Chains A and B, each alone.
Chain A
Amino acid sequence: MPLRLYVAGDGPNSTLARSNLATALDRLGRSGDGIEIVDCLTDARRALADGVMVTPTLVVEGDGGTTTVIGTLADLDRVVSILGAQEEST
Chain B
Amino acid sequence: MGTRSDPADGVTFDGLHGAIRRLVDAANEVESLTDGQADAVIGPLDTHPLLLGPAQRAMVRSAAQYRFFLDNVPVAVLELDAEGVVRYANAPARAMLGLSEGELTGTAWQALPLAWTSASDARTSYEQLAGSDPEPVEIAIERADDTLRYVQWHSARPRRSALMDGTLVVMGIDHTDRHDAIVTAVRLSEAREAKSRAEAAIRARREVLAMISHDLRTPLGASMGYAELLEAGVHGPLSEEQLDVVRRMQGTQHRLQRLIEDLTEFARSDASGMDLRATEGAIGPFLEKTRAFLEREARQLNVELVFRVEDPDARMRADFERLGHALTNVCSNSIRFSPQGGTVRVDARMEGRDLLIEVRDDGPDVSAEHIDDVFSTFWTRGKTGGLGLGLSIAARFLRAHGGDLLAADAAGGSDATFRIRVPELPAEEGRGGDANGSQERLDV
Residues of A within 8 A of B (CB): 7-9, 11, 13-14, 16-17, 20, 40-41, 44, 47-48, 51-57, 67-75, 78-79, 82
21 contacts between A and B (CB under 8 A): A7-B46, A8-B46, A13-B43, A13-B44, A13-B45, A17-B43, A40-B49, A41-B49, A44-B49, A51-B34, A54-B30, A54-B34, A55-B45, A55-B51, A67-B39, A69-B41, A70-B38, A71-B41, A71-B44, A72-B44, A73-B43
Near A by CB (< 8 A), chain B positions 29-88 give: 30, 33-35, 37-51
**CA gap between A62 and B37 in the complex, in Å:** 16
* A9 nearest in chain B by CB position: B48
Q: When the two chains form the complex, which single residue of A41, A70, A75 contacts B45, counting CB atoms closer than 8 Å?
A: A70
Across the interface, do A74 and B42 meet the contact criterion of CB distance under 8 Å? yes
Knowing A70-B30, A70-B34, say if A8 contacts B48 (CB, 8 Å). Answer: yes
Asked if residues A53 and B34 are in contact (CB atoms below 8 Å), the reply is yes
- Top 9 nearest A-B pairs by Cβ distance? A72-B43, A71-B43, A74-B43, A8-B48, A71-B42, A55-B46, A8-B46, A13-B46, A69-B40
Q: How far is the CB of B48 from chain A (nearest CB, A)?
A: 4
Are A73 and B42 in contact, with the CB atoms below 8 A?
Answer: yes
Cβ contacts under 8 Å, B41 to chain A: 69-71
A68 neighbours in B (Cβ, 8 Å): 34, 37-40
Measured CB to CB, the closest approach of chain A to B51, in angstroms, equals 5
Interface of B, secondary structure class, is loop
Chain B residues, CB < 8 A from A17: 43
Cross-chain contact B43 with A14 (CB below 8 angstroms): no
State how many angstroms separate the Cβ of B268 from the closest Cβ of chain A: 98
Select B37's contact among A51, A78, A79, beta carbons within 8 Å: A51
Q: Give the chain A neighbours of B44 by CB distance below 8 A.
A: 13, 71-72, 74
**In contact, B50 and A48 (Cβ under 8 angstroms):** yes
Interface contact B48-A70, CB-CB below 8 Å? no
Q: Quick one: given A54-B30, A75-B43, are A69 and B49 in contact (CB under 8 Å)? A: no
Q: Find the A residue at minimum CB distance from B53.
A: A53
Q: In the complex, which residues of chain A have a beta carbon less than 8 angstroms from the beta carbon of B39?
A: 67-69, 82
Contact residues in A for B30 (Cβ distance below 8 Å): 54, 70
Chain B residues with CB below 8 A from A44, complex form:
49-50
What B residues does A16 contact at CB under 8 A?
43
In the complex the two chains form, is B40's CB within 8 Å of A82's CB?
yes
Known: A16-B43, A17-B43, A74-B43. A11 touches B38 (CB 8 A): no
| A40-B49, A70-B45 known, 14 other contacts, Cβ within 8 Å | A17-B43, A40-B48, A48-B50, A51-B37, A53-B33, A54-B30, A54-B45, A54-B50, A55-B51, A68-B37, A68-B39, A70-B40, A71-B42, A71-B43
A67–B54 alpha-carbon span in the complex (Å): 25
What residues of chain A lie closer than 8 Å to B47, measured between beta carbons?
Answer: 8
